[in-house]
Chains A and B, each alone.
Chain A
Amino acid sequence: MLFPTLDFALFLPTVFCLYWFAAGRGVRAGNALLLAASYVFYGWWDWRFCALMLFSTAVDYTAARWLSGANNPGHRRLALGLSIAVNLGLLGFFKYANFFIEQFAAAFTFLGQPVGWRSLDIILPVGISFYTFQTMSYTIDVYRRRLEASRDPVAFAAYVSFFPQLVAGPIERAVSLLPQFEAPRRFSYRDSVDGLRQILWGLFKKVVVADSCAVFVDDLFANPAAHNGSALLLGAVLFAFQVYGDFSGYSDIAIGTARLFGFTLMRNFAYPFFSRDLAEYWRRWHISLSTWFRDYVYLPLGGSKGGRWMSIRNVTIVFLVSGLWHGANWTYILWGAVHALLFIPLLLMGSNRVHLDTVAQGRLLPSWKEFRQMSVTFLLLALSLVLFRANTLTHAGTYFAGMLDRSLFAAPTAVPETTLFFIGILLAFEWVGREYPHALALPAARWPRPARWALYYVLAFSVVLLSGEEKPFIYFQF
């Protein structure tokens, strides 16, 4: 079930009313209802996916129970190993099997020993990368004794399958989300209203901004030869806004929806396009994944404690794995490598933690220097995202070749004026509200009620006007 659809618009209020009715009868009843609703939500795509999620849940619940009961370090390691092996095994099979089969076959062919290996007919279950990482964090945290193993299978299953963030995050840590499933929840008017605001802003970003950009971007990437360099550069810029609108829009809807049910999810985006360097960008973009890699890959590898070369190695590994996490394609791996290359100089100069505050804090406009830094960072990001959008490395090469010629300085062959207008609105609201958790929090706090409601109506009308065709979220494929 997709968020910006009529199905979800009917599903959400129904579950909301039933949930608060059930939650009034106890935590277990509320969890049971959320669990059922989440499986309906997930099974809407394909009911077979539910069996896979149930299996993953059962394995991690059992492994964690075993871990918490075992004192022998060997047994503990074995339980953790089994849990990780099952999770990564599922992920590897469903997401990467064909990629590795194709690479091995190509390698053997290159070496003069062609093999007749064929790709498997596998459907990638929606959101598998997200819930797999979420459940792995649970068993690892139980292993590290940062968390008690859950004794309530319903609460644990509801935590794994929690529908607002099930298919595209934020990738929650058990330490912060699981206790919320085990504690009583009370309806909060304030949280619910703000949750709705965040949902509305998320819908605007997805339906109005991202989907409008998609029309232009799809055309350019489908036929780069038909456009000049400046149009292709504009396409790369618009793709950056498309991914941002799409994914951060999803996160806003997820966080807002969770708030309606009395849950607080972690922030996933903190206005990343206002970053002054790439290190700051990575602290503001897909925060739940970046911090997951930090906590469960970078730090266990030694982090920055082993000296400069160790840091460089670990950063490179994290970026490459992050690229591979996004998809089984060399384009993603190269995208990760490019970001590693851009990040490492900051690390070597010790300037990767310079910009920890919000840009132009307390001021309406940025300084010229800040503006320049943001522009350069954004341009690097937009160019790197060509790799993210291209189907193959050759496709990316064709796109770059078309972009980087003399026509880069000519007027673009196509300009989507309306889309640029929508992007302008997005940037204006996000810039003004950049010190708040989401862009509509500022109008909510400062604007008089008539102005607030007028804004909500305009946003809601624009969403209804531009919605219709179901366009899946980009991150569903990951």
Chain B
Amino acid sequence: MKDFLRRLLLFAVGFFLLDKLLIPLRDHSPAPEMEADRRLEYLFTGQIRADLLVLGSSRGARSVIARLLTDSLGMPAYNLAYPGSGLSFHVYVLEQALRHLSPRPHTVVLVLDDPMELFFDPHLAFRSDRLYPLVKYRPAREGLVVAGEKNAVLSRLLVSHQLTRQYLFPRRIPFNTLDTLLPCGSMPVRTQDPKWDRRYGPTEPPYDPARELAPKRRDLERFVGLCRQHNIRLVMAIPPNFNPPTRGFAERMQALAGPTATVFRYDTSRVPYRDPDFFYDQGHVNAAGAQLFTEELIGYLKTILF
């Protein structure tokens, strides 16, 4: 038995020492440089200068052009919205922004997905895949723990557990027209989905709070709480899609966010929002639509910021 335990211990010690030899591998991989979208890396390294941050999913990335906000409001703005991301990811990005950006942003525009923001939607998730190539940075490793993809203890103890397959075998992903990324972080689309039928959507039933998921509600509370704690003005924006707005959605979000946040919804009476030429598909505006919505948002922000 003693011999068995002795050898087992020897193996474990050997494993631990060999594991530390992986540190250069972890810190010198071409994986981050092979990414077309390096916004998170800029965030982790504090390279973003933004008084106003835009967060959200694809609707946030495609509907708000941060450069227009910068030009009109006279304050640096940056878009850190990620297609396919949900509230848990927005919370994570906000936490990183608060930790790494100096000075900290004083306004955050959280772009909401009407009506799916708090509902189950497999397309709005924690974008761990954006973190895989960045595990040389501690915040990325912490993000993978938050996402449940890595174990907190093992991630602290073992370098090998911090690595990911995508990091070890990096690949340059072919460029897609949807990946157009402006220097301000926004991702407006200039094309239109060829499969889209360009029909204005039917009126949906009123917003049903019973479909909300408790973890998503907690994420929203956390997001609002972080903004309140750091004296950040929070604006929750609802951009247009090619459906009528869901009745009760804006009111419900306002009720959940409380008085420290405000909800801004696009002007539903504007004609262009019924024109398919301003949309990429049923759920997203294209670059022309983004310009319209951003101008509307600028008008609103001017009334509350100045």
Q: Is there contact, CB below 8 Å, between B151 and A6?
A: yes
Q: Which residues of B contact A428 (CB under 8 A)?
A: none
A416 to B3, CA, bound (A): 43
Q: Is there contact, CB below 8 Å, between A464 and B161?
A: yes
Q: Is there contact, CB below 8 Å, between B148 and A189?
A: no
A175 to B195, CA, bound (A): 64
A65 to B159, CA, bound (A): 55
Mark contacts of B136-166 with chain A using CB atoms, 8 A cut-off: 1 yes-contact digit, 0 otherwise. Answer: 0000000010001111011000101101110
**Chain B residue at minimal CB-CB distance from A222:** B122
Mark contacts of A185-208 with chain B using CB atoms, 8 A cut-off: 1 yes-contact digit, 0 otherwise. Answer: 001010011001000000000000
Q: Given A6-B154, A469-B148, is A460 in contact with B161 using a C-beta cutoff of 8 Å?
A: no
B120 adjacent to chain A (CB < 8 Å): no
Q: Which residues of A contact B1 (CB under 8 A)?
A: 20, 187, 189
B175 adjacent to chain A (CB < 8 Å): no
A189 to B1, CA, bound (A): 7
Q: Is there contact, CB below 8 Å, between A467 and B18?
A: no
A296 adjacent to chain B (CB < 8 Å): no
Name the distance in Å between A18's Cβ and chain B's nearest Cβ.
13
B306 adjacent to chain A (CB < 8 Å): no
A187 to B4, CA, bound (A): 10
Name the distance in Å between A358's Cβ and chain B's nearest Cβ.
31
Q: Is there contact, CB below 8 Å, between A6 and B165?
A: no
B200 adjacent to chain A (CB < 8 Å): no
Q: Is there contact, CB below 8 Å, between A465 and B14?
A: no
A456 adjacent to chain B (CB < 8 Å): yes
A6 to B155, CA, bound (A): 11
Name the distance in Å between A214's Cβ and chain B's nearest Cβ.
13
Q: Which residues of A contact B158 (CB under 8 A)?
A: 464
* Contact residues, B1-48 vs A (CB, 8 A): 1, 3-4, 7-8, 11, 14-15, 18-19
Q: Is there contact, CB below 8 Å, between A469 and B154?
A: no
A187 to B15, CA, bound (A): 25
Q: Which residues of B contact A5 (CB under 8 A)?
A: 151
Q: Is there contact, CB below 8 Å, between A460 and B15?
A: yes
Q: Is there contact, CB below 8 Å, between B165 and A457?
A: no
Most chain-B CB neighbours within 10 Å: which of A212, A460, A465? A465
Q: Is there contact, CB below 8 Å, between B160 and A465?
A: yes
A435 to B150, CA, bound (A): 37
Q: Which residues of B contact A460 (CB under 8 A)?
A: 15
Q: Is there contact, CB below 8 Å, between A468 and B4?
A: no
Q: Which residues of B contact A212 (CB under 8 A)?
A: 165
Q: Is there contact, CB below 8 Å, between A418 and B153?
A: no
Q: Which residues of A contact B168 (CB under 8 A)?
A: 465
| Cβ-Cβ contact count across A and B, 8 Å cutoff | 54
Name the distance in Å between A187's Cβ and chain B's nearest Cβ.
5
Q: Is there contact, CB below 8 Å, between B149 and A6?
A: no
* Contact residues, A435-478 vs B (CB, 8 A): 453, 456-457, 460-461, 464-470
Contact of A418 among B19, B154, B163, B169 (CB under 8 A): B169
**Chain A residue at minimal CB-CB distance from B8:** A196
Q: Which residues of A contact B154 (CB under 8 A)?
A: 6, 464, 467-468
Q: Is there contact, CB below 8 Å, between B4 and A192?
A: yes
Q: Is there contact, CB below 8 Å, between B4 and A189?
A: yes
Name the distance in Å between B18's Cβ and chain A's nearest Cβ.
6
**Chain B residue at minimal CB-CB distance from A208:** B165
* Contact residues, B153-196 vs A (CB, 8 A): 153-154, 158, 160-161, 163-165, 168-169
A465 to B158, CA, bound (A): 9
Q: Given A464-B160, A464-B161, A468-B161, is A456 in contact with B4 using a C-beta cutoff of 8 Å?
A: no
Name the distance in Å between B31's Cβ and chain A's nearest Cβ.
14
Contact of A468 among B19, B149, B169 (CB under 8 A): B149
Interface size class for chain B? 20 to 34
Q: Which residues of B contact A464 (CB under 8 A)?
A: 19, 154, 158, 160-161
A470 to B169, CA, bound (A): 23
Q: Which residues of A contact B160 (CB under 8 A)?
A: 461, 464-465
Q: Which residues of B contact A461 (CB under 8 A)?
A: 15, 18-19, 160
A196 to B12, CA, bound (A): 13
Q: Is there contact, CB below 8 Å, between A465 and B161?
A: yes
Q: Is there contact, CB below 8 Å, between B153 and A6?
A: yes
Q: Is there contact, CB below 8 Å, between A468 and B165?
A: no
A268 to B22, CA, bound (A): 37
Q: Which residues of B contact A467 (CB under 8 A)?
A: 151, 154, 161
Name the distance in Å between A49's Cβ and chain B's nearest Cβ.
23
Name the distance in Å between A186's Cβ and chain B's nearest Cβ.
10
Contact of B15 among A457, A469, A470 (CB under 8 A): A457
Q: Which residues of B contact A196 (CB under 8 A)?
A: 8
Q: Which residues of A contact B150 (CB under 8 A)?
A: 468-469
Most chain-A CB neighbours within 10 Å: which of B14, B144, B149, B160? B160
Q: Is there contact, CB below 8 Å, between A469 and B165?
A: no
Name the distance in Å between A146's Cβ and chain B's nearest Cβ.
35
Q: Is there contact, CB below 8 Å, between B151 and A468?
A: yes
Q: Is there contact, CB below 8 Å, between B15 and A193?
A: no
A432 to B158, CA, bound (A): 32
Name the distance in Å between B117's Cβ and chain A's nearest Cβ.
22
Name the distance in Å between B177's Cβ and chain A's nearest Cβ.
18
**Chain A residue at minimal CB-CB distance from B171:** A417
**Chain A residue at minimal CB-CB distance from B150:** A468
Q: Which residues of B contact A470 (CB under 8 A)?
A: 148
Q: Given A6-B151, A192-B4, A468-B149, is A457 in contact with B18 using a C-beta cutoff of 8 Å?
A: yes
Most chain-A CB neighbours within 10 Å: which of B14, B148, B153, B165? B165
Q: Which residues of A contact B18 (CB under 8 A)?
A: 457, 461
A468 to B135, CA, bound (A): 14
A20 to B160, CA, bound (A): 32
Q: Which residues of B contact A192 (CB under 8 A)?
A: 4
Q: Given A189-B4, A418-B169, is A465 in contact with B163 using a C-beta cutoff of 8 Å?
A: yes
Q: Given A467-B161, A468-B149, is A193 in contact with B144 using a C-beta cutoff of 8 Å?
A: no
Q: Is there contact, CB below 8 Å, between A418 and B144?
A: no
A460 to B15, CA, bound (A): 8
A355 to B121, CA, bound (A): 50
* Contact residues, B203-253 vs A (CB, 8 A): none
Q: Which residues of B contact A187 (CB under 8 A)?
A: 1, 4
Q: Which residues of A contact B4 (CB under 8 A)?
A: 187, 189, 192-193
Q: Is there contact, CB below 8 Å, between B161 and A457?
A: no
Name the distance in Å between B10's Cβ and chain A's nearest Cβ.
10
A66 to B183, CA, bound (A): 81
Q: Which residues of A contact B165 (CB under 8 A)?
A: 212, 418, 465-466
**Chain B residue at minimal CB-CB distance from A468:** B150
Given A453-B14, A468-B149, 4 new contacts (CB under 8 A): A457-B14, A461-B18, A465-B164, A467-B161
Q: Which residues of A contact B (CB under 8 A)?
A: 5-6, 20, 187, 189, 192-193, 196, 212, 418, 453, 456-457, 460-461, 464-470
23 A-B pairs in the complex with CB atoms less than 8 angstroms apart: A20-B1, A187-B1, A189-B1, A189-B3, A189-B4, A193-B4, A193-B7, A196-B8, A453-B14, A457-B14, A457-B15, A461-B18, A461-B19, A464-B19, A464-B158, A464-B161, A465-B165, A466-B165, A467-B161, A468-B150, A469-B148, A469-B149, A469-B150
Q: What are the 7 tightest A-B residue pairs by CB atom distance, in nearest-first order?
A: A468-B150, A464-B160, A469-B149, A468-B149, A465-B160, A461-B160, A464-B161
